[in-house]
Amino acid sequence: MIEISGLAKKFKVENPKKLSEQDKKDPRLEGRFFHSVKNVSLRCDKGEVLALLGPNGAGKTTTLRLLSTALQADAGSMLINGIDVIKDPVSARKKIGFLSGTTGLYGRLTGRENIAYFGRLNGMSEQQIEERIAIIADKLDMHSFLDRRSENFSTGMKQKTSIARAVIHSPAVVVLDEPTTGLDIMAAKTVIDFINDLKSQSVPVIFSTHHLEEVTELCDRVTVIDYGETSFDGTLEAFKALSTQGLHASFMASLKQGVAV
């Protein structure tokens, strides 16, 4: 189970004069600090999939990086199966499978070697790594390229390898930052099926996306972040009920009000 309450993170602006006009108009800019995340709260229970939605720059990626312990929060609380992420980040990190949108693969290593390296970082034995890679490769359809050097991978191959690397240690929770962005239809379908498989194993999954059709297909809950604050947090049914004009209209409606269900 993942619980986030009142999460906040600000960054110092070294040279405000170099900010774009759009950034200067952002209400989160206060003096020399930009409050990327001001007040985010959400929860994702065992076996649930939660979609994290919001406009570009809303604070979604910062929120996920805070949860992954890649960044340290300024305020708020985060719990993963009762473990305090802020007070005990080392223990929390062991429970998390995190896919970042910017972390690259080691190009000179094969897909298998990239995944195995992260397995060793997580204290797995060589036999455990081998067995786990075989299972993941089956589910993500990776066998045809698993032993090729990753510098020559397509976008879909890289993303599948990155996901495999994130879940090699069988994490208790999985956090994915736009896992299907840039993928073709077949690769995206494989990733969606993999998320559904995690759900069937009762693993909580949080993923950010701009594709509302994925929300309908995968999700139990929806959280919307707007200007660094939670503007909606509730069930998929409650999200749909925000408008009778479809999910896009529900999303637009969610940006105009603060709703918790």
pLDDT value for 256: 56
Mean pLDDT of the chain: 91
Q: Is the pLDDT of residue 181 over 50?
A: yes
Both tokens of residue 170?
A: 């069988």
Q: Give residues with Cβ within 8 angstroms of 189, minimum separation 6.
A: none
* C-alpha to C-alpha distance for 16 and 12, rounded to whole angstroms: 10
CB 253 within 8 A of CB 259: no
Q: What is the token pair recorded at 227?
A: 């200007």
CA dihedral 132, 137, 140, 143 (to 10 degrees): 170
The domains of the chain, with CATH numbers, are 2-107+159-260 (3.40.50.300)
pLDDT band at 19; cut points 50, 70, 90? confident
Contacts (Cβ under 8 Å, ≥6 apart) of 37:
7, 8, 9, 59, 62, 63, 66, 225, 228
pLDDT band at 22 (very low <50, low <70, confident <90, very high): confident
Q: Is the pTM of this model over 0.85?
A: yes
- Is there a contact between 22 and 34 (Cβ–Cβ < 8 Å)? no
- Residue 206 is given by DSSP the state E
Give the confidence band of 21 by pLDDT, cuts at 50, 70, 90: confident
